[in-house]
Amino acid sequence: MEDGPAIRRLWARLVNTVTRGALIRTANGGKAQTVTVAGQRFRDHPPIEHWLPYGLDFIATPPAADGKGAEVIVLQLTPGHYVALPAMDRRSRAQSGVTAAGDVAVYNAAGARVLLKANGDMEISAPGQVTATAGTVFRIAAPEVQIHADDKLSLDSGGYGEDWINDAGEYRVDTWKNGNVVPGAANDIAPPDHEGG
Comparing CA positions, the residue from 38, 105, 40, 94 lying closest to residue 68 is 38
Give me the chain's average pLDDT, please: 86
What is the model's pLDDT at position 1? 47
In the chain, what are the domain boundaries? 5-84, 91-131, 136-197
Higher-pLDDT residue of 181 and 37 is 37
What is the model's pLDDT at position 34? 94
Higher-pLDDT residue of 176 and 24 is 24
Give per-residue pLDDT as tens, 75-125. Answer: 988 888 889 999 999 999 899 999 999 999 999 999 999 999 999 999 999
Question: What is the value of pTM for the model shown?
Answer: 0.75
The alpha carbon of 119 is separated from its chain's Cα centroid by a whole number of angstroms, namely 21
CB atoms under 10 Å from CB of 74, counted, come to 22
pLDDT over 80 (residue 191)? no
Find out whether 82 and 34 touch, Cβ atoms under 8 Å. no
What is the model's pLDDT at position 109? 92
pLDDT band at 190 (very low <50, low <70, confident <90, very high): low
Higher-pLDDT residue of 143 and 160 is 143
Give per-residue pLDDT as tens, 12-28. Answer: 667 678 888 899 999 99
pLDDT over 70 (residue 9)? yes
CB atoms under 10 Å from CB of 35, counted, come to 24
Question: What DSSP line would sit under the chain, residue for residue?
Answer: -PPPHHHHHHHHHHHHTEEEEEEEEEE--SSS-EEEE-SGGGTTPPPEEE---TT----PPPP-TTS---EEEEEEEETTEEEEPPPB-GGGGGGG---STT-EEEE-TTS-EEEE-TTS-EEEE-SS------SS------SS-----SSEEEEEETTEEEEEEEETTEEEEEEEETTEEEPPPPEE--PPP-TT-
Question: What DSSP line would sit under 120-147, residue for residue?
Answer: S-EEEE-SS------SS------SS---
pLDDT over 70 (residue 30)? yes
Give per-residue pLDDT as tens, 160-175. Answer: 899 999 888 788 888 9
- Report, as an integer, the average pLDDT of 66-83: 88
